[in-house]
Every structure is written in structure tokens, then in C-alpha cells.
């Protein structure tokens, strides 16, 4: 059994630490910040565990719509002009990734096994960590104005069917049962019963870390700075609090993984796809509107999720220069859309706002598996829009690789070498 440094305690690092410690390894979990804190993408996301998220962001024909989408102030995607020079190569790769039906299907086929059974996997992890109530399995609802709008998304639903995702069509009374307060304008739904959601992602990450510590993991409040390699093998991880001598390291540092991955021989194009949320806060003990099942409207593209804090609406993609201040108008847009979706929210409900960074590769697939320049370094980052859902399967892959077992998941599609290799491993 190995001494493993897990770098990063977001949902991916937390799942890795919990899985590895129970697989018999010695684990040191390195993160300078509080697990589940607002600095991390894992804090404020839509909280969906969706097997239906196999549909890539890049789909055929997107290149025709993208310029208009990027320039629209009210749309789901926004590009700040100052970000364009740095982002252009990533954007081109992104558009190419899903440019044909075959390419989009290949991405869906790679996401399928990562997302299959994700809600059940989380339910088990939450149970084992002593927080079963944080994972709810009542399915997820995709809402449309009418059947025609649903049928216009036949390509996306075909990709889902191809990955074994099942859904039930619901109209009329069946739809009202699932979403009693939904605006009358939505008369058609596709309910994915296998999906689930988390009622408090921040508390869930913290609970997984706490459970790992109870099982013997050591937590180090430090930032990993360098991987010290010797003769092509990992000797230690150098941190702001000294060296962690280890046999293996898992890079799970979200948007900050790029530099560490480069030290292990892989140059990965990672963009910060910024997203926002707004929470209509709980009043007393009740949500302002009853939302028994999370809802994604076909127009607006935002997750509407019942959480312990209130109704969370999360979405938006914003590309901005690194370090740029949040543009809270993106969160205000979510608030306006939510008020259209749930007319009962029109009143004076307190709203809190958050911005976070999705660690996104251009092809929408995470980077998982052994680093090109050092077999002791494992990548577990780049989960983009699906990190909550895909974290347990990613962690299991890390455990299988470290134990020398044949992985249940073929790591081929996720390898870092699909991007250009860095020239100087260890530098």
C-alpha cells in the first residue's frame, strides 16, 4: 500500500481521499483552504448528480450560434473581450471537439461510464460518511414549454438514450406532481428517475474530508508548489508548509491543476468557465416555493435545486481574464429567470450570490490517469460541468490504478496525452 498525497480537497479530492484511505493507503490531503469553502467550484454548483449530463457543451452547429451567444448580455454564455486573446485556442478546440455528430457521440460515450449510477454512488458515499440526508434520489426534471421544444432537442436525447439514460415523459397532472409551482408556460417534462441531487455541496465535501480524517487520513493546510521527481519517479510534494514525502500523488486541484500537471509532463488546456448561483433563501423552515425535484428549463439552462439554504439557481458560462472581479449581473440574470420559472418567487425573498470556476477542458472530458512524465503522479482534474456527478467514478479509477487492479473504467479517453505533451517533465 502506498503513501499518497491528494492535492486539493474539492469534491474530486475529497472523494479520492475517502476512497483511497478505505482501500488501505496512507493519505495526506493537501489544501490551503477549508474543504467545501466558497473559493472552490464544489461549493456553489448546481448540485446535480445527473447521468443525463453526457451531452457535451460543444455540439454540431454550435459555431453558428456561438458568436451571437457570446455577445448577448442576456444569454447563458458571455465572453469578456479582454479574455479573447488568451482563450482563442481553447475556444477553437472546444468548437472542433463536438463539431460532428460522430465527435459529439464519442464524448457522450466517454462521459457515460463516468456518470452512470452517479446518484447511487454518492448515496453510498454519503451513507458511509455519516451524512445520508445530504444526497437525495428523486430524479431530475428537464422542463419544456411543449413537446415540440422537447423534440427539437432530439439529438441530445438520442445521445442520452445511447448511454442507457432512461426518462419518463410527463405532462399535465404528472408534471404538476413533480413541479407544483412551475410556471404554466412549461407544459412538458422529461423526468430522469436515476438522477439525484445534493442538498448542501459544501457540507458534503466537508463531511467526506472529515470522514477520511476519522479513517486515518492526515490533512495538511498548505498549497502544493512543486512535485519533486527523482530519476523519473516521485520523491515528494513540496508545499508551503514543507515537503510531503510520498510514493504517489493525485492532482485534484481543480482550476489550479495546470502547473502541477505540467511538472509531471502534461500540458493541459484548461479554461476557467465561470458560473454563478443565486439562492432564494429559506424563510423559516419552508422554501418560498415547493420544489420536490430539481428542474432544468430548456430556455435559460440553469439548475434549480432545493438545498438546505433555499432554492439554488445555478448556471451561466462566463469567460473573463484571470483574476477579474465577478460580474454580478450574471447572477441577477439567474434571479430574473428563476422568477419567470417560479412565479411565486416574485415577492420579497432574500437572495445570496456566488461565483465559481469550472475547471474545463475543450472536449468536456476530465483528465484522469497516470501522468505522461511520471507513473507515480495521477491526474484527477478538468471535470468542467460534471465534477459533482463524476467525482466518485473518478476516485474509483484512481484507487484501481494505485492498487494495480484492472480498472472498471477504461482510462483511455481521459488521458492527458490527448493534448500536447510538455517538453520537460519535472521542470
Smaller CB separation from ligand FAD, 91 or 314: 314
Give the CA distances from residue 301 to residues 126, 131, 311, in Å, rounded to whole numbers and listed in that order: 28, 29, 16
CB 104 to ligand FAD: min, Å: 19
Give the C-alpha separation, 96 to 78, whole Å. Answer: 19
Torsion over CA: 252, 258, 264, 265 (sign)? positive
CB 64 to ligand FAD: min, Å: 25
Helical packing angle, 154-162 and 101-115, nearest 10°: 50
Smaller CB separation from ligand FAD, 38 or 180: 38
Smaller CB separation from ligand FAD, 265 or 384: 384
Give the C-alpha separation, 298 to 153, whole Å. Answer: 9
CB 103 to ligand FAD: min, Å: 22
CB 113 to ligand FAD: min, Å: 15
Smaller CB separation from ligand FAD, 60 or 352: 352
Rg (CA), the chain: 21
Within 8 A by CB and 6+ apart from 242, the residues are: 222
CB 266 within 8 A of CB 415: no
CB 378 to ligand FAD: min, Å: 13
Binding site for ligand FAD (CB under 6 A): 7-13, 30-33, 39-42, 45-48, 223-224, 252-254, 256, 275-277, 303, 314-315, 356, 358-359, 381, 383-389
CB 70 to ligand FAD: min, Å: 18
Smaller CB separation from ligand FAD, 35 or 98: 35
Give the CA distances from residue 340 to residues 179, 198, 335, 358, in Å, rounded to whole numbers and listed in that order: 14, 24, 9, 26
Give the C-alpha separation, 219 to 29, whole Å. Answer: 5
Smaller CB separation from ligand FAD, 273 or 376: 273
Amino acid at each position: 500500500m502506498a503513501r499518497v498525497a491528494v492535492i486539493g480537497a474539492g469534491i474530486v479530492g475529497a472523494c479520492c481521499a475517502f476512497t483511497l484511505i478505505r482501500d488501505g493507503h496512507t493519505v495526506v490531503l493537501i489544501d490551503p483552504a477549508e474543504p467545501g469553502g466558497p473559493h472552490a467550484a464544489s461549493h456553489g454548483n448546481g448540485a446535480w448528480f445527473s447521468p443525463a449530463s453526457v451531452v457535451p457543451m460543444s455540439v454540431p452547429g454550435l459555431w453558428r450560434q456561438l458568436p451571437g451567444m457570446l455577445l448577448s448580455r442576456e444569454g447563458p454564455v458571455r465572453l469578456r473581450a479582454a479574455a479573447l486573446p488568451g482563450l482563442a485556442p481553447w475556444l477553437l478546440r472546444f468548437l472542433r471537439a463536438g463539431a460532428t455528430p460522430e465527435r459529439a457521440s464519442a464524448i457522450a460515450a466517454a462521459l457515460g461510464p463516468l456518470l452512470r449510477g452517479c446518484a447511487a454512488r454518492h448515496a453510498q458515499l454519503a451513507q458511509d460518511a455519516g451524512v445520508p440526508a445530504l444526497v437525495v434520489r428523486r430524479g431530475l426534471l428537464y422542463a419544456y414549454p411543449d413537446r415540440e421544444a422537447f423534440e427539437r432537442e432530439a439529438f441530445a436525447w438520442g445521445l442520452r438514450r445511447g448511454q442507457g439514460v432512461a426518462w419518463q415523459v410527463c405532462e399535465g397532472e404528472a408534471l404538476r406532481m413533480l413541479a407544483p409551482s412551475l410556471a404554466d408556460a412549461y407544459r412538458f417534462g422529461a423526468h430522469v428517475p436515476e438522477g439525484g441531487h445534493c442538498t448542501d455541496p459544501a457540507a458534503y465535501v466537508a463531511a467526506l474530508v472529515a470522514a477520511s480524517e476519522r479513517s486515518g487520513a492526515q490533512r495538511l493546510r498548505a498549497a502544493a508548489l512543486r512535485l519533486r521527481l527523482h530519476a523519473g519517479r516521485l520523491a515528494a510534494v513540496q508545499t508551503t508548509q514543507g515537503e510531503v514525502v510520498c510514493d504517489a500523488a493525485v492532482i485534484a486541484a481543480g482550476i489550479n491543476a495546470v502547473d502541477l500537471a505540467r511538472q509531471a509532463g502534461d500540458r493541459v488546456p484548461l479554461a476557467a468557465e465561470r458560473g454563478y448561483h443565486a439562492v432564494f433563501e429559506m424563510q423559516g423552515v419552508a422554501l418560498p416555493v415547493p420544489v420536490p425535484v430539481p428542474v432544468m428549463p430548456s430556455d435559460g439552462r440553469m439548475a434549480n435545486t432545493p438545498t438546505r439554504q433555499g432554492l439554488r439557481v445555478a448556471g451561466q458560462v462566463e469567460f473573463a481574464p484571470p483574476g477579474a472581479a465577478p460580474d454580478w449581473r450574471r447572477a441577477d440574470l439567474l434571479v430574473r429567470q428563476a422568477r419567470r420559472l417560479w412565479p411565486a418567487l416574485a415577492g420579497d425573498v432574500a437572495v445570496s450570490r456566488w461565483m465559481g470556476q469550472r475547471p474545463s477542458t475543450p472536449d468536456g472530458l476530465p483528465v484522469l490517469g497516470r501522468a505522461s512524465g511520471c507513473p507515480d503522479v495521477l491526474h484527477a482534474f478538468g471535470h468542467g460541468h460534471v465534477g459533482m456527478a463524476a467525482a466518485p467514478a473518478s476516485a474509483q479509477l484512481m484507487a484501481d490504478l494505485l492498487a494495480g487492479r484492472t480498472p472498471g473504467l477504461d482510462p483511455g479517453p481521459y488521458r492527458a496525452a490527448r493534448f500536447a505533451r510538455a517538453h520537460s517533465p519535472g521542470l
